[in-house]
Chains A and B, each alone.
Chain A
């Protein structure tokens, strides 16, 4: 019988074939979803999908791209916004 905490659906079940030929289940934790652009909704590059408790251990520069609106807007939307600001 599987221990109680692993019966939760917050774990994902991975079927593994052992060298002895048995099929066993490995319980792995799920990752949160990847961040999306605030304006167009595409997946943002340069931001990892990590639990917030893991994010605290990582350096700030490794959590977002080094540019204005990095981690908030995708590069295309950022360019559009800056061009808009420049033309005003």
Chain B
């Protein structure tokens, strides 16, 4: 009953109730399915075969399955492959590093520290907390200048 091209309904899992077609028979217990469900291996016990069949080659691509399903009137979703991007890393504001803390101070107190932040030198190797950046940083900058 379950051969290549047989249309089935999935009866288990999160995609239960969706129609699929058998694309390949893997062994006595498992088949490869595709269609309204994702392309995946499935246990035969989780499929309910219908009367309909579709002419498909073994290991037909998702595009071929989509064409066949369109004729029958079933909607097939095709997902785009995601581009592999680097994981976004969270840059921690270090209290000890100079330029990093200067940048952090500039970000933390933009309005009151706008002028002194611009005036102070870039590489200051003093420990500074981002919240109290404006007052202590302005004083040593003025002293140095």
Closest residue of chain A to B13 (Cβ to Cβ) is A67
The 8 tightest CB contacts between A and B, nearest first, are: A86-B9, A66-B14, A79-B11, A86-B48, A82-B11, A67-B14, A83-B48, A82-B17
Contact B48 A82 (CB under 8 A): yes
CA distance A83 to B9 in the complex (A): 8
What would 10 A/B residue contacts be, using CB atoms closer than 8 Å?
Answer: A67-B12, A67-B14, A78-B16, A79-B16, A83-B9, A86-B9, A86-B11, A86-B48, A86-B50, A87-B48
| Bound CA span A85–B48, Å | 11
20 more A-B contacts (CB under 8 A) besides A66-B14, A78-B16, A82-B16?
A: A67-B12, A67-B13, A67-B14, A67-B16, A68-B16, A68-B17, A75-B12, A79-B12, A79-B16, A82-B9, A82-B17, A82-B48, A83-B9, A83-B11, A83-B48, A85-B17, A86-B9, A86-B11, A86-B48, A86-B50
Q: Which residues of B contact A (CB under 8 A)?
A: 9, 11-14, 16-17, 48, 50
Give Cα distance in the complex from A67 to B11, angstroms. 10
Number of interface residues of A (CB under 8 A): 11
What number of residue pairs across chains A and B have CB atoms under 8 A from each other?
Answer: 26
Kindly report which residue of chain B lies nearest to residue A80, judged by CB atoms: B11
Of chain B, the residue at the smallest CB distance from A79 is B11
Q: How far apart sit A68 and B13, CA to CA, in the bound complex (Å)?
A: 8
CB-CB contacts of A13-28 with B at 8 A, as 1s and 0s?
0000000000000000
Which chain A positions have C-beta within 8 A of B50? 86
- CA–CA, A85 and B17, complex, Å: 9
Measured CB to CB, the nearest residue on chain A to B46 is A79
| B residues less than 8 Å from A87 (CB atoms) | 48
Determine the residue in chain B with the shortest Cβ distance to A70.
Answer: B14
Smallest CB separation, A66 vs chain B (Å) = 5
Q: Which B residues are in CB contact (< 8 Å) with A83?
A: 9, 11, 48
* Chain A residues, CB < 8 A from B9: 82-83, 86
